[in-house]
Every structure is written in C-alpha cells, then in structure tokens.
Amino acid sequence: MTKCVAVLSSVAVLGLVASGCGGSSDNGSSGSKTTAKQPAKRPAKQPAKSGGTAAKTIQVSMKNIQFSPKSISVAKGTTVKWTNDEGVNHDVTKTGGPGPKFSSGTGNLSQGDTYEQKFDTPGTIKYVCTVHAPGMAGIITVK
C-alpha cells in the first residue's frame, strides 16, 4: 500500500484527483478531509492537547501544614493535583465521601512531590494528611 500512497501523493501534487488508486476508502483516517500533505510521517494521531472544559486540573498546595486552598469545588471529571511546597512530608488520603478510595501513601510526599486524583463522582469528598490529621485536612466538592 505504500506504493499506492506514493502514487497518490504524486498524483495530488499534479493536482489530479486520486480516483485511480483503487477506491478512496483505502486510507481509513482520511475521511472527508483532503489534507494529504504529509503522507510520509503521520503525527496527526495526537488528540490535540486535551483542552476544553472536560479535562481540567486544579492545583492544591501543601504548605504550612495545611492544604491550600483547604476547600475546593470542582466539576465532575476534574483532576486535582496536590504539590508539597515545603520541607515537611505530607500525604493525601481520603477519609470520606463517594467514589473510590485514594491515598498517596502515608507521609510519602516530600517537597516538590505531587499527587493526582481524578474525581468523577459528585458529592463531598473529605481527605487528610494522615501525618498531620486532623489539623491538616481538606474538602473537595464535586458537582
């Protein structure tokens, strides 16, 4: 089929329609798009950076033996990313609310470490740093 692509390419350069290449459905991904410009390499598979409203990430800092912000409200499907911003080990461990349990592992987040968790189930999730609980706790409201 590579030969066919090459022919198709050169035909396209000549400005002719590629009808002579044994059917148009051969190159499955082309669909109705007529952008046959780079037939050799095909990096067009990348889903164009998951922007949009669905895949969002909210940052929470761990600083002064607190989560900051302590309470956040996020849309369903949001990922929360915690970052330890001080030289004290912390962790992120769910203590209540809907959805799956999660924990970064007791006290295993050193300075600069991050932990991510996605929230798909609406409700109020409570979590703590088990090292500094109950003083170091946070709430995530998923809508």
The stretch near Cu ion (CB under 5 A) out of 1-9, 33-41, 96-104, 127-135 is 127-135
The stretch near Cu ion (CB under 5 A) out of 13-21, 70-78, 79-87, 128-136 is 128-136
In DSSP notation, 13-42 reads HTT--GGGTT-GGGSTTTTT----S--S--
Quick count: other Cβ atoms within 10 Å of Cβ 143? 10
For Cu ion, the closer of residues 18 and 136 by Cβ is: 136
Residue 90 interacting with Cu ion (CB under 5 A): yes
Residue 129 interacting with Cu ion (CB under 5 A): yes
Residue 131 interacting with Cu ion (CB under 5 A): yes
8 Å CB contact between 35 and 51? no
The stretch near Cu ion (CB under 5 A) out of 9-17, 48-56, 74-82, 84-92 is 84-92
8 Å CB contact between 23 and 4? no
137 CA to centre of own chain: 25
Binding residues vs Cu ion (CB under 5 A): 90, 129, 131-132, 136
